[in-house]
């Protein structure tokens, strides 16, 4: 253990002083309160825990507790819990391979930080010790879990797992989960408890980047197996900020739960009533701020009530529409899609939504329309003039009454959806309020829970990405390994400015921070990088790279197969890679020499190529096809290529693959514009310059394909969108856009 540590007598004094400060008479407080035990080693903690009786408090000394698997086991009493807390809120840092398990009754754990490590088990905080020994009537409060991720992002764990019944998880901050598995889960079955009555409140669920696969839910309550029973869990007054893990922000999979008064801020995905009946969704506020894929509420199953919610600026569509009422499977098993029946969707306000899908997801299997349901007194207003309502199936089983749409929709010729021009003004609570619309839309006194009233008050909530060029700038002179030394010394946000000349790199350059490298501004001057290892840059965990105005040649690279200018190392997740105004050439020494090679298990938030000239490559410009297990993972969320020219590339210039059949992700998304593909993939059979498989959204504009391959777009899952315009084909085949996998032998 390291770090600051106060002595036991100093702690008693501190507690006494705080008792005085809060106005309690010291003598009375001292007489009633059992003595807190200050512990500073795991062994001392275990001894104190064993001796603890109802009403006792165990205090962990401030400092780093490394590789500490904390076991909180005991029998408290109502009003006299056994409490485990930190000497100072946030002063105890659980690092390395640490976790917390609890078993017993009336236990309270508070004010710990899990950071710089990961749990050695499948959970960081668990309300059970084993299958047999669980915690009930217990509380975890004021806990922080920050970036406490498994090294391999495909390896799943749950950060917080609730078992048993009548437990509370509150005022905690959970931020930066990048590996698979839920951020918080309620686990329930016959043994672990079905009637849970948990309360999950006032937590701050911070940024969770896209997982690039199913399994990135921020919260899940139950599983499909036991979804037919009621959990009675209440989720209220939490903030969900940029929870972008997958299409389900919350996946409800049990009955009789309440989602009330939560705020969903710029979160991609939707609160999804996936399985289970009789749930209540009310008083929630969704702010999308027009961020792509921000959604609202998706309705499936029976007896769901969705009322008095406020949804504004949601740009999502499909399963992430502001409101989605699904088609179901006739006589569906619980784990498919139980059809919507007896849903009450009332008094919601939906402003400037891109999409409201009524009767969504209809296909051969999902053929049962919503039934015996009500859509009443909702307000749909679009100051942007858009008509978001799409009726995709038979809505005759949904009674519509008293709804108002402003302005009138083009497609919505629905009785009970009255067109009317409504003026809106922003009220003191921050929500837009309609004038003269009594009884329509969300109640006027709806309030937003304040962000500062959620999470651990003592821990910062803004954990922003490091911006490129936000740190120091340093000059680098040409020569052998001058760049190697400069990069090793660079910190987050730093920029390396290369003077004209030749830079020889004799080691693989590991990028573990956000770093940018730029060449000379003058077009007549060049900074050229040569490298004699199989890879020039390797992006590791936490690494993001931007290179500008550089010339990179592979002429010194070793004569081995599978070289790459830029490669990702295991653990590279949610990285950014930007290449602009660069020239990359001579990647031909052996076969499969790529510009960018994405290693299995790694994922980019974005890869951008702007004004890049690539000439002479035996592999691909972007090889992102390593996820061949077809588990739904993929290597790139967003790919943007513009004003670039690719000449004499053996492989497809872009080779992007996303397998698996789940409908949980928004990506990959790709935009290619104003670029030329000359003699690219010409010797492949059939010739192909851009190979896209399982991509969800592709937009290709004003590209030129000469003397080589064209575009191949293979549809595998979901409802992928492919748009191409302005393509010029000169000696290249036409684009194939409607292929299924069966039609292409890969």
At closest approach, how far in Å is the CB of 471 from Ca ion? 37
Which H or E element spans position 29?
helix 26-32
Q: For the purposes of burial, counting CB atoms within 10 Å of the CB of 527, is it exposed (0-12), middle (13-18) or buried (19 or more)?
A: buried
Residue (141 or 665) nearer to Ca ion, CB: 665
Residue (57 or 214) nearer to Ca ion, CB: 214
Q: What are phi and psi of 295, to 5 degrees?
A: -125, -175
Write the interaction track for Ca ion spanning residues 176-215; mark x where CB under 5 A is met and - where it is not.
Answer: --------------------------------------x-
At closest approach, how far in Å is the CB of 279 from Ca ion? 17
Q: Which two tokens stand for residue 443?
A: 């109640």
Name which of 463, 483, 464, 465 is nearest 474 in CA terms.
Answer: 483
List the one residue from 85, 238, 309, 664 that touches Ca ion (CB under 5 A): 664
At closest approach, how far in Å is the CB of 664 from Ca ion? 4
Length of the chain: 746
Contact region for Ca ion (CB under 5 A) — 170-178, 324-332, 551-559, 657-665?
657-665
Residue (365 or 615) nearer to Ca ion, CB: 365
Three-state DSSP state, 30: helix
List Cβ neighbours of 27 (8 Å cut-off, separation of 6 or more): none
Residue (240 or 531) nearer to Ca ion, CB: 240
Name which of 704, 590, 698 is nearest 646 in CA terms.
Answer: 704
495 binds Ca ion (CB under 5 A): no
248 binds Ca ion (CB under 5 A): yes
At closest approach, how far in Å is the CB of 329 from Ca ion? 18
At closest approach, how far in Å is the CB of 244 from Ca ion? 13
Contact region for Ca ion (CB under 5 A) — 130-138, 178-186, 244-252, 585-593?
244-252
At closest approach, how far in Å is the CB of 253 from Ca ion? 10
Q: Are 360 and 389 in contact (CB under 8 A)?
A: no
Three-state DSSP state, 21: helix
Q: Are 239 and 454 in contact (CB under 8 A)?
A: yes
Residue (230 or 248) nearer to Ca ion, CB: 248
Residue (224 or 737) nearer to Ca ion, CB: 224
Cα 641 to chain centroid distance, Å, stands at 24
DSSP states of 506-525: -S-EEE-SEEEEE--SSTT-
At closest approach, how far in Å is the CB of 246 from Ca ion? 5
Contact region for Ca ion (CB under 5 A) — 391-399, 434-442, 656-664, 676-684?
656-664
Residue (219 or 608) nearer to Ca ion, CB: 219
**Gap between the Cα atoms of 79 and 398, Å rounded:** 48
Residue (154 or 541) nearer to Ca ion, CB: 154
Contact region for Ca ion (CB under 5 A) — 44-52, 375-383, 514-522, 661-669?
661-669
At closest approach, how far in Å is the CB of 264 from Ca ion? 16
List binders of Ca ion among 43-102 (CB under 5 A).
none
At closest approach, how far in Å is the CB of 589 from Ca ion? 44
At closest approach, how far in Å is the CB of 269 from Ca ion? 9
8-state DSSP, 40: -
Per residue, the 3-state secondary structure of 282-349, as one string, reads ECCEEECCCCCCEEEEEECCECCEEECCEEECCCCCHHHCCEEEECEECCCCCCCCECCECCEEECCE
List Cβ neighbours of 125 (8 Å cut-off, separation of 6 or more): 99, 100, 114, 140, 143, 145, 159, 160, 161
List binders of Ca ion among 301-360 (CB under 5 A).
none
At closest approach, how far in Å is the CB of 271 from Ca ion? 12
686 preceded by a cis bond (ω within 30 of 0): yes
The count of other CB atoms within 10 Å of the CB of residue 622 is 28
Contact region for Ca ion (CB under 5 A) — 127-135, 142-150, 246-254, 677-685?
246-254
Contact region for Ca ion (CB under 5 A) — 3-11, 243-251, 544-552, 592-600?
243-251
Residue (248 or 282) nearer to Ca ion, CB: 248
At closest approach, how far in Å is the CB of 360 from Ca ion? 16
244 binds Ca ion (CB under 5 A): no
Residue (218 or 454) nearer to Ca ion, CB: 218
Instruction: Please measure the distance between the N-terminal and C-terminal CA atoms of the chain and give it in whole angstroms.
Output: 55
Residue (662 or 707) nearer to Ca ion, CB: 662
> How many angstroms separate the Cα of 370 from the Cα of each of 387, 587, 620?
22, 57, 48
Per residue, the 3-state secondary structure of 623-653, as one string, reads EECCCCCCCCCCCEEEEEEECCEEEEECCCC
Residue (405 or 664) nearer to Ca ion, CB: 664
At closest approach, how far in Å is the CB of 222 from Ca ion? 13
At closest approach, how far in Å is the CB of 353 from Ca ion? 22
Contact region for Ca ion (CB under 5 A) — 55-63, 241-249, 259-267, 420-428?
241-249
Three-state DSSP state, 431: coil
Name which of 74, 31, 23 is nearest 52 in CA terms.
Answer: 74
Residue (185 or 682) nearer to Ca ion, CB: 185
Write the interaction track for Ca ion spanning residues 214-233; mark x where CB under 5 A is met and - where it is not.
Answer: x-------------------
Residue (620 or 665) nearer to Ca ion, CB: 665
- 257-295: string of b/e by CB count within 10 Å (b at 16+)? bbbbbbbbbbbbbbbbbbbbbebbbbbbbbbbeebbbbb
Residue (642 or 664) nearer to Ca ion, CB: 664
At closest approach, how far in Å is the CB of 248 from Ca ion? 4
Give the total of residues touching Ca ion (CB under 5 A): 3
**Gap between the Cα atoms of 502 and 516, Å rounded:** 18
Q: Are 457 and 171 in contact (CB under 8 A)?
A: yes
Residue (272 or 484) nearer to Ca ion, CB: 272
At closest approach, how far in Å is the CB of 343 from Ca ion? 21
**Torsional sign, CA 266, 267, 269, 274:** negative
The binding site for Ca ion (CB under 5 A) comprises 214, 248, 664
């Amino acid at each position: 253990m390291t770090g600051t540590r106060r002595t036991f007598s100093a702690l008693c004094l501190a507690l006494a002083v705080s008792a005085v400060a809060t106005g309690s008479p010291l003598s009375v407080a001292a007489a009633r309160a059992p003595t807190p035990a200050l512990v500073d080693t795991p062994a001392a903690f275990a001894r104190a825990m064993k001796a603890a009786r109802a009403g006792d408090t165990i205090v962990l000394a401030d400092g780093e507790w490394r590789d500490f698997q904390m076991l909180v086991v005991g029998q408290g009493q109502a009003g006299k819990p056994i409490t485990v807390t930190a000497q100072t809120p946030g002063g105890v840092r659980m690092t390395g391979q640490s976790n917390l398990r609890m078993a017993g009754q009336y236990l309270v754990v508070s004010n710990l930080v899990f950071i710089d490590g990961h749990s050695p088990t499948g959970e960081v905080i668990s309300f059970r010790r084993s299958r047999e020994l669980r915690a009930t009537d217990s509380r975890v409060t004021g806990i922080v879990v920050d970036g406490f991720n498994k090294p391999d992002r495909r390896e799943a764990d749950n950060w917080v797992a609730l078992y048993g019944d009548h437990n509370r998880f509150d005022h905690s901050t959970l931020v930066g989960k990048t590996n698979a598995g839920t951020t918080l889960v309620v686990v329930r079955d016959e043994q672990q408890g079905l009637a849970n009555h948990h309360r999950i409140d006032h937590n701050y669920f911070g940024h969770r980047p896209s997982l690039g696969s199913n399994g990135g839910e921020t919260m899940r309550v139950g599983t499909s197996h036991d979804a037919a029973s009621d959990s009675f869990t209440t989720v209220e007054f939490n903030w969900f900020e940029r929870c972008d893990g997958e299409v389900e922000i919350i996946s409800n999979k049990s009955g009789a739960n309440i989602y009330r008064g939560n705020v969903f801020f710029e979160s991609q995905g939707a609160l999804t009533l996936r399985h289970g009946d009789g749930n209540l969704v009310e008083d929630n506020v969704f702010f999308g701020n027009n961020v792509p894929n921000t959604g609202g509420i998706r309705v499936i199953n029976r007896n769901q009530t969705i009322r008095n919610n406020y949804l504004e600026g949601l740009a999502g569509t499909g399963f992430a529409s502001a409101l989605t009422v699904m088609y179901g499977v006739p006589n569906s098993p619980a784990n498919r899609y139980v059809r919507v029946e007896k849903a009450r969707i009332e008094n919601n306000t939906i402003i400037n939504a891109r999409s409201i899908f009524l009767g969504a997801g209809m296909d051969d299997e999902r053929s049962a329309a919503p039934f015996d349901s009500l859509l009443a007194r909702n307000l749909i207003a679009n100051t942007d003039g858009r008509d978001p309502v799409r009726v995709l199936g038979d809505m005759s089983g949904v009674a519509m009454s008293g709804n108002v749409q402003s302005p009138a929709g083009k497609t919505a010729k629905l009785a009970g959806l009255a067109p009317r021009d409504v003026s809106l003004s922003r009220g003191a609570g921050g929500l837009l309020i309609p004038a003269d619309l009594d009884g329509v839309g969300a109640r006027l006194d709806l309030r937003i829970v304040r962000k500062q009233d959620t999470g651990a008050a003592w821990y910062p909530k803004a954990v922003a990405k490091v911006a490129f060029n936000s740190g120091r700038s340093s000059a680098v002179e040409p020569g052998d390994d001058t760049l190697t030394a400069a990069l090793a010394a660079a910190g987050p946000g730093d920029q390396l400015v290369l003077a004209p000349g030749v830079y020889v790199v004799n080691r693989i350059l590991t990028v573990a921070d956000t770093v940018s490298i730029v060449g000379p501004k003058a077009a007549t001057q060049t900074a050229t990088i040569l490298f004699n290892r199989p890879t020039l840059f390797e992006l590791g965990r936490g690494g993001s790279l931007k290179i500008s105005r550089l010339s990179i040649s592979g002429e010194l690279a070793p004569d081995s197969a599978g070289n790459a200018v830029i490669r990702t190392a295991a653990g590279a997740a949610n990285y950014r890679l930007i290449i602009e105004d660069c020239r990359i050439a001579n990647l031909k020494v052996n076969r499969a020499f790529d510009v960018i090679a994405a290693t299995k298990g790694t994922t980019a938030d974005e890869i951008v190529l702007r004004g890049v000239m690539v000439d002479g490559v035996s592999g691909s410009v972007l090889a992102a096809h390593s996820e061949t297990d077809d588990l739904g993972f993929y290597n790139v969320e967003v790919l943007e290529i513009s004003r670039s020219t690719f000449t004499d590339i053996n492989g497809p210039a872009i080779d992007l693959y996303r397998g698996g059949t789940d409908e949980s992700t928004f990506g990959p998304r790709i935009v290619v514009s104003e670029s030329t593909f000359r003699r690219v993939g010409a010797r492949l059979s059939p010739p192909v310059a851009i190979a896209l498989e399982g991509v969800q959204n592709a937009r290709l504009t004003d590209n030129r394909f000469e003397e080589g391959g064209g575009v191949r777009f293979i549809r595998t899952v979901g409802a992928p969108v492919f748009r191409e315009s302005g393509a010029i084909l000169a000696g290249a085949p036409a684009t194939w856009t409607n292929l299924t996998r069966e039609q292409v032998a890969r």
